[in-house]
Amino acid sequence: MFNNEGFLSEKEFRTLYDTSFAMLVRISYRITSSEDAAEDLVHDAYIRLCEKNLPFPSLNDARYWLIRVVKNSSLNYAKRKGREKKAYEKHFREPKKEVETGLEHVLKDESLELVQKALDMLPPNLKEVLVLKEYGDMKYKEIGTVLGISEGNVKVRVFRARERLLELLKEASPYVP
Amino acid sequence: MCPDKELLSAYADNEVESPFKETLATHIESCEKCRESLKAFSVLSANLKNLPLPDFSSDQKAMQSAFDILLRTKKLQTHRNVVQIPVQFLSAAAVFAFVLFLGAYAALPALNQVQATNYANKLKSSEALSSQMASTIQNVDQNQEPLTLTMTLPESTTLQAFGEVEVLKVSNPPQGQYK
């Protein structure tokens, strides 16, 4: 497929774009929680791929490179936004909103909102594996390749992320399954 | 004995290989505690996947224009790659050019010396011609009648100092004195 010494041809680039865009945006959105940021960060990753014009042994390797770049830039974005939000709250002394946990509020939408909040509270090393697993539809081995860690380490991290999420959800609302 | 919860999490992801997979399945069927743990992981996965997601690919026109912009970047890059020279080659070329310049600068006086010697040799060889020239001028001086001399002078001005005059033809040569 890669006849030009591993460099992507226009056709290969199109295939890569068509098959990876939705997945990359999904991953980025789950980390950043911002539609605009997700689209921008994903397009930035494609631009970087074009500018660097790196040789890849296969299309899958190019895909892993993109996932790694999008994941890192999204985590950086979320971290920066988190810091900005904290600084803003500190400056204006706004009280943090308390999560309502009464039985009457435990509706489907709210339980999903809690899941999103719990996901945001995960440390980056756990969040990244779970996001890649759930939104990248990737196998443990592929996640290991993207993150540069062993398959066993991915298995442990996915489990810890789930345990942590379940704990957080239980704390937030004992009625949410 | 119940398996580690970590194994159940991997089982939920279909990441447990045979024959452990089958053994685990048999155990889960008979163990309520493990079934509950597995269910918790599965429900959590389903909830994560059910989180609302904006429809990013709804605007096909915008998608196409975004891709076109990307492709332009790629084309530009490919074009640029044609003339791209690795940094190490570039620096080697710069060093080579510098050495060449220094060498030329050092060799310049020597070249001048060679040039001067060449001119001196030429002058020596043209001594015979110069004596002819002297006798011609003497003849011109002695002759009362007007003479027409045709000469070819060297074109290069740099040769002026060491230039030689070639006598091609002397009109009305005095009979018996000059051939």
ipTM: 0.76
Q: Which of B7, B13, B45 to mutate to test the interface with A (most CBs of A within 10 A)?
A: B13
Strand partners, B105: none
Taking contacts as CB-CB distances below 8 angstroms, the residues of chain A near B57 are 21-22
What CA–CA distance (Å, rounded) separates A82 from A41?
17
Mean pLDDT value across residues B149-176: 60
Q: Which residue matches tokens 């066993």? A: A152
A3-12, A59-68, B40-49, range with the lowest pLDDT: A3-12
What is the band of B95 on the pLDDT scale with cuts at 50, 70, 90? confident
Q: Is the dihedral of CA A143, A146, A150, A154 positive or negative?
A: negative
Q: Are A136 and A121 in contact (CB under 8 A)?
A: no
Residue A28 CB coordination number (10 Å):
30
pLDDT, tens only, A79-109: 888 777 777 666 665 555 545 444 444 445 5
User: Would you state the structure tokens that stand for residue B78, as one six-digit string?
Assistant: 């490919």
Average confidence (pLDDT) over B118-130: 63
Chain A / chain B CB contacts < 8 angstroms: 85
**Partner residue facing A140 (CB), from B15, B54, B73:** B15
Which two structure tokens, joined as six digits, stand for A19? 């098959």
Judging contacts by C-beta atoms under 8 Å, the chain B residues touching residue A169 are: 44
Residues of chain B neighbouring A159 (CB-CB closer than 8 A): 5-6, 9-10
Q: Which residue of B has its CA nearest to A13?
A: B71
Residues 71-100 of B with CB under 8 A from A: 71, 73-74, 77-78, 81
